[in-house]
Amino acid sequence: MNAALFGLAAALGLGVADFMSRFSARALGAPLTYGAVLLIGTVGTSLWVLFSSTPLIWSPLGCAVAAVHGLFVALMCMLLYTGLARGPIAVVAPIVAAHPALVLAANVVMGVRPSAAQWVAMTVIVVGGIVIAATAAPEDGDDKKAGADRTTLLIACGACLAYASLVITGQAAVPLIGEAETMWIGRWSGLVFVVLILIYQRATLKIPSEWLPYVGLQGALDSLGYLAFLAGAATVAPHVTMVIASAFSVVTVLLARLILHEVVSPTQWTAIVLIAMGTAVLSSS
């Protein structure tokens, strides 16, 4: 029961936070928005590590891999925020959510032998991603709200690749230093990376006062989502948490449909469901 509740909390927290980035990234830019969200997450993770009495392990290799993991997390989130700001969300979110197929493909290269169910799930995800991409750009005369331009598709694919990379580096770091420390170090390295980007862009490091409550809520939801996922990973049924949490992209798409009234064709809905189902299978294994 706890594993399911943690998974639901993770899916809702991350899904709603990603949807909120549609507006904050448009107004403030992806780097500044994610920098603020990441700052809140870094503080939250640090408090988690402090008050949960998580043992810290000194492993030069583990810490280095965790730092690289954090860089990929930051890169993925900035690309995701950029893609969601450009829209449509119903195209960007499912493509990014197809990352487990890339993770499995990389694991195959490294010698992992997937089960028949995993092969089927990966095939379903790839087919779903192709359908989303193929139906993203409408032909002349179609409703433009249903389509995405080529740049947006490339940004979404880049976010998907970065997502797969952060999962792979996280898989390498966790056995060495544990999940909590991997996340903690990753948050700090990602925060430094984002600040350097903002300095290079000579961008303002201040959030306008009228956006502080909004970005604060977005950061809190993002942090709660990740912390719920982390807590679920420590239960007796971590696979349940992972499966339910993998539905975060569905939450984002549903909000886009209900609030923004984005046009989602029946074909795209089918592809979204296929990607969610395939992701759930791969997450559980």
What is residue 146's predicted lDDT score, i.e. its pLDDT? Answer: 46
Contact present, 176 and 186 (Cβ < 8 Å):
no
What is the model's pLDDT at position 238? 65
pLDDT of residue 239: 63
For residue 283, the model assigns a pLDDT of 65
pLDDT at 20 over 90: yes
pLDDT exceeds 50 at position 139: no
Q: Which residue has the higher pLDDT, 54 or 238?
A: 54
Range in 14-23, 34-43, 198-207 with the lowest mean pLDDT = 198-207
Q: What is the pLDDT of residue 60?
A: 92
pTM: 0.81
What domain range includes position 78? 2-284
Cα distance between residue 175 and residue 29, in whole Å? 35
Count of structural domains within the chain? 1
Task: Indicate if the pLDDT at residue 218 is higher than 50.
Answer: yes
* Each residue's pLDDT tens digit, 224-277: 887 787 677 666 666 667 777 777 878 888 888 888 888 777 887 888 888 778
Question: d(Cα 34, Cα 37) in Å, to the nearest integer?
Answer: 5
Burial-class residue 141 by CB neighbours within 10 Å (0-12, 13-18, 19+).
exposed
Q: Are 37 and 222 contacting, i.e. CB atoms less than 8 angstroms apart?
A: yes
Q: What is the pLDDT of residue 1?
A: 58
Q: In sequence order, which residues have a C-beta less than 8 Å from that of residue 270 and are 6 or more positions away?
A: 131
pLDDT number for residue 56: 85
Q: Residue 234 has what pLDDT?
A: 63
Q: Is the dihedral of CA 182, 42, 2, 217 positive or negative?
A: negative
Which position has the higher pLDDT, 92 or 127? 92
pLDDT in tens, 143-192: 444 455 788 889 999 999 998 898 888 878 888 988 788 889 999 999 99
pLDDT value, residue 197: 92
Dihedral (Cα; 111, 115, 119, 121), 10-degree rounding: -120
% residues pLDDT > 90 (the chain): 25
Q: What tokens were used for 111?
A: 């010698």
At residue 92, does pLDDT exceed 60? yes
Q: What is the DSSP string of 132-170?
A: HHHTTSPPTTS-GGG---HHHHHHHHHHHHHHHHHHHHH
pLDDT at 151: 87
Structure tokens belonging to residue 226: 């990740």
